[in-house]
Amino acid sequence: MVVGSVQFPQMHPVSGFRLGTVEAGIRYAGRRDLVVMELCEGSRLAAVFTSNAFCAAPVTICREHLDKSTPRYLVTNTGNANAGTGRQGYEDAKACCQAMADIAGCSTEQVLPFSTGVIGESLPVERITAGLPAAFEGLSEDGWEDAGWGILTTDTVPKGASVQVPMGDRMITISGITKGSGMIRPDMATMLAYLATDAELPDELLQACLHDAVDASFNRITVDGDTSTNDSCVLVATGRSGVAITDVNGDDYHRFCRAVTEICEALAQAIVRDGEGATKLITIDVTGARDEDEAARVAYTVAHSPLVKTAFFAGDPNWGRILAAVGRAGVDGLDLDALTIHLDDVCIVSQGGRDAAYEESLGQAVMQRDEIGIVIDLKRGGAHTRVWTCDFSYDYVKINAEYRS
């Protein structure tokens, strides 16, 4: 089930960036599961990866290859994470890179591998390498939607976002796709995400823009509190628009960064809307904190509470669960009489307990909505953060219990 509308949008092609998708039978027959992306000569690439110590072999290789060369090809397989596979997993991922390099006529270090799916199983290298020629032949600047389907695991819909931004008398394009549904609690970004633009930026500005955009978007979502071994997010700049953005203090750079952040926020929210078994999108705003870390600690404590999440699934305005989560967030010297908690526009907590004007029927009306806001004002400072999460349903347990079957 998807909360609200997650429709794949019209994607603006990015000049110099092509995508090809095939059915390689990596885990299931009749399913798009192998995607090749081609970066034109002269492209730049910024990336962020998982902080999980058990990072997958392709993540390790991506980091190594980025230190040695500028990428020309990205290869993504679903159905198998190639994580927890030891030295053999590393060699398998390298073999896929070599196969792609042989087809494209580039060096192995110019290929970045990405994998997603079941952890701890050997990568079916032969199926991947057998599918690469057809994916290469199918490369197209219009291949975004097929690629959106081709990177999914337990997701139910593909997720994309695209925008065109005027820069003087020219226009730049930014387009992106992502996958993610479970194992969502970023310490970078728990998903795979690929963004591309035809603007030209130096490496340091591109990396800084992606880092800030990820922190404001993918690092502000959670479905279940788990962080994957394979998290990767890349931003490619082909430079084909003729628009060069070089001044970190200039209006063009700030306009570009705002657009990238908006794309990332749209993709991040789409992940939560398609969270495994999700029936409600919950936005948690914590205001009045002493610093952003304190605000985030409170927001994530509420967002990760199984009792809070199951109450939202049931449509039960059990405000005591939210109150208890705030209380155990580890905020020193919290003034219980000062803070307030709202469900949308309904105040549920003030003066250290249930708000005097609160009635169960008011909370019940809010809890029937598909999209609900929790606003927690700590009344102790000027810092704020926002986190997006979802409820826990019966289907979440079913999906994960049957994941490998």
Asked whether the beta carbons of 232 and 113 are under 8 A apart, the reply is no
Q: Are 331 and 286 in contact (CB under 8 A)?
A: no
Q: Point out the catalytic residue in the list 190, 238, 283, 301.
A: 190
Question: Which helix (H) or strand (E) is 272 found in, with range?
Answer: helix 251-273
How far apart are the C-alpha atoms of 190 and 148, rounded to whole Å? Answer: 16
CA-to-CA distance for 262 and 163, rounded, in angstroms? 9
Please tell me the distance from the alpha carbon of residue 74 to that of residue 52, in angstroms, as a whole number: 21
Q: Are 20 and 139 in contact (CB under 8 A)?
A: yes
Between CA 32 and CA 380 the distance in angstroms is 51
Token pair 């063009």 is found at 252
Closest among 131, 81, 142 to 103, alpha carbons compared:
131
Distance from C-alpha of 319 to C-alpha of 341, rounded to nearest angstrom: 9
Distance in angstroms (rounded) separating the CA atoms of residues 196 and 140 = 14
DSSP 248: T
The token pair at 161 is 């976002």
Give residue 260's Cα distance to chain centre. Answer: 13
- Any bridge partners for residue 22, and if so which? 34
190 is catalytic: yes
Beta pairing, strands 111-115 & 73-77: parallel
Phi (first) and psi of residue 84, to 5 degrees: 65, 30
Q: Helix count (H) and strand count (E) of the chain?
A: 11, 15
Give DSSP secondary structure letters for 294-351.
HHHHHHHHHHH-HHHHHHHHHT---HHHHHHHHHTS--TT--TTT-EEEETTEEEEET
Closest of 152, 294, 301, 157 to residue 222, by C-alpha: 301
Q: What are phi and psi of 195, to 5 degrees?
A: -120, 145
Residues designated as active site: 190
